[in-house]
Amino acid sequence: MPLSYWLGVDTGGTFTDFVLLGDGEPRIHKVLSTPDAPERAILQGIEALGMGAAMATGELAIVHGTTVATNAALEGKGARTVFVTNSGIEDILRIGRQNRAELYNLTPTPAASALTDLPVEGINARLDARGNELQPLSSDEIADLVTRIKQHDPQSVAICLLFAYLQGEHEQQLAEALRDAGLSVSTSHEIVATRGEYERGLATWLNAWLSPKVADYLQRLQQATRPAPLAIMQSHGGTIASEQAAAQAVNLLLSGPAGGLAAAHRLGEQLQQPNLMTFDMGGTSTDVALLDGAIRLTQQGRIGPYPVAVPMVDMHTIGAGGGSLAYVDEAGLLHVGPQSAGASPGPACYGQGGTQVTVTDANVVLGRLQPAFALGGSLQLDVAAANAAMARLGKALGLSVQETAEGVLALANEHMTQALRVISIQKGHDPADFALMSFGGAGGLHVCALADNLGMRRAIVPQRAGVLSAEGLVYAPRKRELLQALADNASEAQLLALRQQLEVQGSQELQAEGVDALDLQFQTFVEMCYRGQSSVLQVIWRDDPAERESAFHAAHEQRFGHRLGLPVQQVNLRVQVLANSQTPDSPALTAEAGKPSGHAQLPGIDTPVALFQRESLGAGQRLEGPALIAEAVGTTWLAPGWQATVDALGHLLLERGASHG
């Protein structure tokens, strides 16, 4: 049966968000997450949206952003895994890069992690730096390894051999023998075929460590939603069929947040505003990123204590969200986050037993989050509980309730501002050249303050901003990011042959998921560095090698402020194969201007503040701050000195008044 509906489902720490397309105006829904079994909240939302029948007939396509891999990594709850590498370097994952949290402590106490007691087995086989075999892998060595690994009673095995990124035959032979023995296996040349035995080995171990838990979850979700097609968002901003996703668990570590960037990129193209700084503020954390015409990818991301070398959206995350807890330390100083109230008990204003102040409580106390607005009025806010919690915190600080709430917000805003500086100023970009795009359930309450802190005069609050990550999942392309390290002094003929090989591989994988070959798009990048350096910069492929080198020099100068007179080395070839989603567009707004639904007197604001329902606003309507604009999944605080214009699709385009700031 042909598809009639498309559902994006983003599982967060506090809420699970839904956006449904296919029936005129997009429909949205939120339910509290169920961390012990995330599929429970998903099924609850599908039924609440009335999509149970469409799911049962296969008319509903589901695209899911999951936190299962992320939570398992952060909580140290992966599978029992054995790591296999060459004899003599068994300690490579524990040694790492010798980076120390305490630079001048000569006897640091090693931080406990899942690697502390990791069983490791070495094999006597070796390739040289060009991928040539120095020491063969014998059948006796393979049989002995299988026996040794079985003694650990593992659920999964990770294999990372030296220089396997150039020639993966040894890893493949080991993997086949271990799979024949009934074990789940991840090999480094399939996970991330790049230099750096530590980073490659760690990515392979993460994949093996997380895959069983991800596979178990996806199997449960597939069973519950069958026959509806189910796709999973990957960390690089493209989706993959759920049947293939479990084997690529390390590619799901930024599954949910990548959906927001997919939506931001699409919206930037629609608004002809390619330069965006985004911040996605949820209940537990805030994710920030920079887009300059495209979603930026990195191989230097982290999850908890672990570097992650697979391609993922270049995003910076901090523990500051609507549920972030405010407290006073022993020295009498105020702190906000990173601890969070979570979904239970939640902020004090949720009335579920929470007694500590959160950022959400501060917004309630200052009137910026009105009781009638919370989740379209479906979430009852306990204003008295928020004020009581704020009064207790204020007593410890010697401040009034209002002053305390303002302090909590100022500190939370400074944390987020600093995160935005990291991805802009520290990387050679002036925030004033960008527009600040806010989304997430709490983002609209802070967008003006963050823009002011950064000297930005333009901001965007998208339609359905509170569930934009879920909506972005639906619009995200089917995609493969294929990365291959280049041998030293690789010829142009070898580069072209490799490029074609990776394009064919990506095409075959997407066509196996049902994508039409005519819908495929290709883009190639080369990662380069000055000879002798270890970090790389990415440039778009150009047929002329001299143009590629010139583009690298320019990229280096933009990023670091200078260029060097050193030879340039081509390190990795990256091929992107994608097919854009075929989802319906949202209908345009009418031009009829909406009237305020009322006015409220907010603490610290001299004049009454107009209250608007966002769905009543018309295309072209202009609002002057101060004002509150409410929708079912979030509220926007239009601060004094800011104006907002409603565009044809309902997005709020904010601008700082010329006489302010």
Q: What is the pLDDT of residues 313-352, one digit of tens each?
A: 998 888 888 889 999 999 999 999 888 887 678 899 988 8
**Predicted pLDDT at 1:** 57
Instruction: With residue 81 as reference, give the H or E element that holds it.
Output: strand 81-86
Q: For residues 318 and 415, is the Cβ–Cβ distance under 8 A?
A: yes
Q: What is the pLDDT of residues 141-183, one digit of tens each?
A: 999 999 999 999 999 999 999 999 999 999 999 999 999 999 9
**Predicted pLDDT at 584:** 74
Q: What is the pLDDT of residues 416-456, one digit of tens each?
A: 999 999 999 988 899 999 999 999 888 999 999 999 999 99
Among 73-82, 107-116, 144-153, name the one with the lowest average pLDDT: 107-116
**Predicted pLDDT at 343:** 67
Q: What is the pLDDT of residues 197-218, one digit of tens each?
A: 999 999 999 999 999 999 999 9
Q: Which domains does the chain have, with CATH numbers?
A: 5-73+215-255 (3.30.420.40), 78-213 (3.40.50), 478-579 (3.30.1490)
Instruction: Output DSSP code: residue 644.
Output: E
DSSP 350-401: GTSS--S-BHHHHHHHTTSS-TTTGGGGTS---HHHHHHHHHHHHHHHT--H
Range among 9-18, 400-409, 578-587 rated most confident:
400-409
Among residues 612, 49, 14, the alpha carbon closest in space to that of 350 is found at 14
Is the per-residue pLDDT at 660 higher than 70? no
Residue 565 CB-density burial (10 A; 0-12 exposed, 13-18 middle, 19+ buried)? exposed
**What is the pTM (predicted TM-score) of this model?**
0.87
Among 198-202, 295-299, 393-397, 528-532, name the one with the lowest average pLDDT: 295-299
Q: Tell me the C-alpha distance between 339 and 302, whole Å.
A: 19
Higher pLDDT, 404 or 657: 404
In sequence order, the 6+-apart residues with CB closer than 8 A to the CB of 59 are 1, 2, 3, 4, 5, 228
Among 24-28, 165-169, 527-531, 650-654, name the one with the lowest average pLDDT: 24-28
Give the confidence band of 510 by pLDDT, cuts at 50, 70, 90: very high
Higher pLDDT, 186 or 246: 186
What are the φ/ψ torsions at residue 179 (nearest 5 degrees)? -65, -35
Give the confidence band of 373 by pLDDT, cuts at 50, 70, 90: low
Is the per-residue pLDDT at 375 higher than 60? no
Is the per-residue pLDDT at 48 higher than 80? yes
**Predicted pLDDT at 496:** 95
Q: Whole-number mean pLDDT of the chain?
A: 91
Q: For residues 237 and 262, is the Cβ–Cβ distance under 8 A?
A: yes
**Predicted pLDDT at 376:** 46
